[in-house]
A and B are shown apart, each in its own frame.
Chain A
Amino acid sequence: DAKTTQPNSMESNEEEPVHLPCNHSTISGTDYIHWYRQLPSQGPEYVIHGLTSNVNNRMASLAIAEDRKSSTLILHRATLRDAAVYYCILNSNSGYALNFGKGTSLLVTP
């Protein structure tokens, strides 16, 4: 299964943009890139996903490298409520083993 690599932790100031990187160098052509986040004491929640093109929704933007070997989740203006663990995973049509790994713990400071 294709794996992802993320930094263990990142820090941001409130109201500043945050760029959370993810490397997935062994991604296959049918793998979708998904991002989830987990707030304290909750289950993970979906943030955004994409295949090849950049994607925007009300929560965030997803920038996908042209070769698809990396992606970046962009929070345009971090708030204290965005402090969470962010997971980048690959979701394939052909496989069902969704490996979450350890994710990136985002700290947002006022």
Chain B
Amino acid sequence: DVKVTQSSRYLVKRTGEKVFLECVQDMDHENMFWYRQDPGLGLRLIYFSYDVKMKEKGDIPEGYSVSREKKERFSLILESASTNQTSMYLCASSFPGGNEKLFFGSGTQLSVL
């Protein structure tokens, strides 16, 4: 079975901490994505990457950065966590191309206190 694995299911951090959310896929996908999901707002794209060391901003990149040093791993970084970054974070991956399906991880519920 293909897999997208997010390192933590639940995470609690304090305001001002640097937070790393890790995502690993085992399908050799070029594309990887980070979304956040909040009640009533659906999924919103934060950043995506279409190759190693490549990244593109999504709709809501403010307060976040990403790292893609290896093809299978895409990290989301909160440089200084704030309470408004409390959310469910979802990672996804796919091959390039409009007819390629996305595979999602189970999500990380981050609480910033």
B59 contacts across to A, CB distance below 8 A: 97, 99
Q: Which of B13-21, B66-74, B102-110 contacts A (4 or more CB under 8 A)?
A: B102-110
- B28 proximity list for chain A (CB < 8 A): none
Among A12-20, A30-38, A59-67, A76-84, the stretch in contact with B = A30-38
Q: Are A102 and B41 in contact (CB under 8 A)?
A: yes
> For residues 53 through 103 of chain A, which have their beta carbon under 8 Å from a beta carbon of chain B?
87, 91-93, 96-103
**Is B26 part of the binding interface, using a Cβ–Cβ cutoff of 8 Å?**
no
Chain A interface extent, by class: 20 to 34
Whether B105 and A102, one on each chain, are in contact in the complex, defined by CB atoms closer than 8 angstroms, is: no
Knowing A91-B98, A91-B100 are in contact, say whether A102-B42 is a contact too (CB < 8 A). yes
Q: Per-residue CB proximity of B71-113 to A under 8 Å, as 1/0?
A: 0000000000000000000101000111111111111000000
Cβ proximity bits B26-68 to A, threshold 8 Å, 1 near / 0 not: 0000010101000011111100101000001011000000000
List, sorted by A's number, 15 A–B pairs whose CB atoms are closer than 8 Å. Answer: A42-B106, A42-B107, A43-B107, A44-B43, A46-B102, A87-B43, A91-B100, A96-B48, A96-B56, A96-B96, A97-B48, A98-B102, A99-B59, A100-B45, A102-B40
